[in-house]
Structure 1
Amino acid sequence: MKPRPSIYIDGLESFIDSELVCKPNSVFREMELYAKDKNIPIVTAATGGVLSQIVSFVKPKRILELGTGLGYSTLWMVNGNPSSKIITVDRHEEQAALLDVYAKKMGLESQMDVTRVTGSVFDYLEDEDQWRDFDFFFVDCDKITYPNIFRTLWPKAKKGATFLYDNVLWHGRVLHPDPKKPSDMAVMELWNEVKSQVSEYTLYPVGDGLLFFRK
């Protein structure tokens, strides 16, 4: 996987993540190095810190994470509120299973309530009884699915539910999206959906852009 460009000037994002982000456990750094070595996309450390703080403020009872990766963002959310029940969905079982490994290294395996689901995001969302009572949704899966995920969740999520989407600046390509790239068009379509249907939203220009809104 070719490294994707940062929305920051050269060197600034790596400096932020290595020198300015308060990481509650050294294992986060280990996960970052593994992800870089194996070309596994994860949120930036700065994004993880913001995600953790939002969870600590909102204190959701039930979180649905779409896109586990290797569990990096999951563990940031656990750090924000260990009492939240988290369901995290990803089709890559071997990769997502690393969440359990790193949770054990952090000493969190007995303190957190996290269930991994292996399979398609849309297969999981087909049964709305599985998710409509969740009060927090974190979306960080295949970008071409973003608009359809919004159209699936937004009408049926309960009032007061919190939504967070990662990669909404899409490595700066929102400035000049390529109509030949489905991922570019999907991120722009998500923005159009949110701007037309959500009365208030906040963009955190951290990492690759984190979009926050509530039902």
Structure 2
Amino acid sequence: MKPRPSIYVEGLEPFIDSDLVFKPNLVFSEMESYAKEKNIPIVTAATGGVLSHLVSFLKPKTILELGTGLGYSTLWMVYGSKSSKIITVDRNEDQAQLLEVYAGKMGLKDQMDVTRVTGSVLDTLEDETFWNDTDFYFVDCDKITYPKIFLTLWPKAKKGASFVFDNVLWHGRVLHPDPKKPSDMAVMELWNEVKSQVSEYTLFPVGDGLLFFQK
């Protein structure tokens, strides 16, 4: 059998994000342009669409987002479920406060229940009472922290809680991880922990790879 060629031919992903992904608000495109100009990492539009779709089906009462960025993924989740209470954590206050700016432009401020927390993700998770009743976790922060985040949350998360980790394909470096790069090793360690402890999981090969599983 001939090997199947990758669908990710040159130029396809940008075309998907710009022309094929349904965006419920044009401000998402504005955020994408700003992120590109300022070199701020955000999920792709296709990833945001999948994330919003998951939330729309699951309708979690509470969502904990680890890594706010400029609020791009947060607002995708808001569109997925306006009834969900979202707490989003990031140490970069100046950048994360853009969430409110863009929410205002989208006309969502009075329709969403979103609380920002400024601080280190790992330090924040030390208070178990802060997160132990969470229904949906979205993790998109420093990749080096991924294994520690999983090992902190997974054993004590409540039954039925959903987890989504972004960047699990790590720009394709999961094929040939560089042992000298801590981020490469951290992503591979996350995969090892998930495959050894989680009975079922789903990889959505959008953007940089979205990994979904439930407790």
User: TM-score, structure 1 length as denominator?
Assistant: 0.96
2:175 paired residue number: 175
* Residue aligning to 1:123: 123
Shift of 1:9: 2.3
In structure 2, C-alpha distance between the alignment counterparts of 1:8 and 1:69, rounded to whole Å: 26
Instruction: Give the Cα separation in 2 of the matches to 1:18 and 1:105.
Output: 20
3-state secondary structure, aligned to 2:70: coil
Q: CA deviation at 1:8?
A: 2.7
Partner of 2:106: 106
What SS does structure 2 have at the residue aligned with 1:183? Answer: helix
Show structure 1 runs of 4+ deviating over 3 A.
none
Aligned to 2:56: 56
Q: Equivalent residues in 2 for 1:1-215 (5 A)?
A: 8-215=8-215
Secondary structure in structure 2 of the residue aligned to 1:212: strand
| Alpha-carbon distance between aligned partners in 2 of 1:202 and 1:123, rounded to the nearest angstrom | 29
Secondary structure of the residue aligned to 2:212 is: strand
Of structures 1 and 2, the one with the larger relative CO (CA 8 A, separation 6+) is 1
Number of equivalent positions: 209
Give distance in 2, aligned partners of 1:201 and 1:145: 20
Alpha-carbon shift at residue 10 of structure 1 (Å): 1.4
Tell me the distance in 1 between the aligned counterparts of 2:129 and 2:63: 14
> Alpha-carbon deviation of 1:40?
0.1
Deviation of residue 138 (structure 1)?
A: 0.1
Amino acid at match of 1:96: A
Aligned AA (1:136): F
Opposite residue 102 of structure 2, the aligned amino acid is Y
Q: 1:156, 1:9 → 2: CA distance?
A: 41
Task: Structure 1: state its 5+ residue gaps.
Answer: 1-6
Provide the TM-score with structure 2 as the length reference: 0.96
Question: Partner residue of 1:4?
Answer: none
Q: Which runs of 5+ in 2 are unaligned?
A: 1-6
